Amino acid sequence: MRLRADAGTCAGAGQCARVAPDLFDQDGDGLVVLLRAEARGPARERALLTADLCPSGALRVHGSA
Ligand code: SF4
């Protein structure tokens, strides 16, 4: 599963970094930083959850593998 994070859309709410710290971080302004562009195994579930939780729609997931 491929991940995309748009810092220009991010609202800095931080749910992504709390739910999936292996996939997302926040920069000094609180905006999302994508740590890994690929999620496999258990990380896929966390990636899907963060996309649902993100209040700004800044996170996108693509593909099923
Ligand atoms: S959950 Fe969405 S709005 Fe919040 S930091 Fe992550 S990408 Fe930004």
pLDDT tens sequence across 25-57 = 999 999 999 999 999 999 999 999 999 999 999
**Furthest-apart CA pair in the chain: how many Å?**
32
Total domains present in the chain: 1
- SS3 at position 53: helix
CATH code of the domain in which 24 resides: 3.30.70.20
Confidence class of residue 11 from pLDDT cuts 50, 70 and 90? very high
The answer to whether the beta carbons of residues 5 and 58 sit under 8 Å apart is: yes
Domain holding 9, by residue range, is 2-62
The β-bridge relationship of strands 59-62 and 32-34 is unpaired
Establish whether residue 57 lines the binding site of ligand 1, counting it when its CB lies within 6 angstroms of any ligand atom.
Answer: no
pLDDT tens, residue by residue, 17-28? 999 999 999 999
Name the closest-CA residue to atom 8, ligand 1.
10
> Which of 56, 60, 61 for a ligand 1 pocket mutation test, highest count of atoms within 8 Å of Cβ?
56
**According to the model, what pLDDT value does residue 32 have?**
98
